């Protein structure tokens, strides 16, 4: 299906861009580059919302349009990403930057699940039978492999990592009190 191929490529490109943003943020924090930390810190809420929205839309596309059956670990990652669209969206509308605590908690747990899932796909983490309880596709199944390393769990891991980096940068930024 041509649409699936296009979306796979688009989401993979967004993943690479997000990974570049993560490296940029870390570089900016480590070397105290104010223009970087202020930019990402000032826009942490907006960017986090957009990331959560894109990830949720991509996840729903993969399961509902492309027909990729999510495994147990994918479901757990969804549990920690989907609510962020609503929580961050409301916070954006009412201009409430206190949402950081909730987003960091959800993203932190999602980060560990996605990290384990990616290591499982690489064959590094010990394999637990994902289908032991009810029907589920194997957590080691790769539906997407772009640029030699990007899989769906890596896309998820990158999104959770970027959200965490954005909130960390907002906390460290002089302009971090702004919600946009």
Q: Where are the domains of the chain?
A: 2-172
The whole-number pLDDT of residue 107 equals 98
Distance between CA 103 and CA 48 in Å, rounded?
9
What pLDDT, on a 0 to 100 scale, did the predictor assign at position 179?
Answer: 46
Check residue 122 and give its pLDDT: 87
- Helix ranges restricted to H, the chain: 2-30, 34-42, 44-60, 72-94, 100-122, 152-172
Q: What CA dihedral angle connects 46, 47, 52 and 53, to 10 degrees?
A: 70
Report the pLDDT value the prediction gives residue 135, as an integer from 0 to 100. 56
What was the pLDDT predicted at 133? 47
Q: What is the pLDDT of residue 129?
A: 60
Low-confidence ranges of the chain (pLDDT < 50): 132-133, 176-180
Residue 45: the pLDDT is: 96
* Rounded Cα gap, residues 51 and 175, in angstroms: 21
- Using a cut of 0.75, tell me whether the model's pTM lies above it: yes
Alpha-carbon gap, residue 158 to 174, rounded angstroms? 25
DSSP classification of residue 126: P
């Amino acid at each position: 299906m041509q649409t699936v191929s296009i979306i796979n490529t688009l989401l993979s490109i967004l993943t690479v861009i997000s990974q570049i943003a993560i490296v940029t943020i870390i570089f900016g924090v480590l070397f105290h580059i104010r223009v970087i930390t202020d930019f990402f810190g000032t826009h942490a809420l907006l960017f986090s919302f957009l990331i959560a929205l894109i990830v949720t839309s991509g996840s729903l596309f993969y399961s509902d349009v492309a027909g990729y059956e999510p495994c147990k670990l994918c479901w757990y990652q969804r549990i920690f990403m989907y609510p962020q669209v609503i929580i961050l969206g409301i916070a954006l509308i009412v201009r409430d930057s206190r949402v950081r605590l909730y987003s960091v908690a959800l993203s932190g747990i999602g980060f560990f699940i996605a990290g384990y899932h990616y290591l499982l796909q690489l064959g590094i983490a010990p394999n637990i039978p994902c289908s032991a309880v009810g029907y589920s596709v194997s957590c080691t199944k790769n539906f997407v492999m772009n640029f030699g390393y990007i899989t769906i769990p890596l896309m998820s891991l990158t999104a959770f990592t970027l959200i965490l980096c954005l909130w960390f940068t907002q906390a460290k930024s002089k302009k971090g009190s702004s919600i946009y």
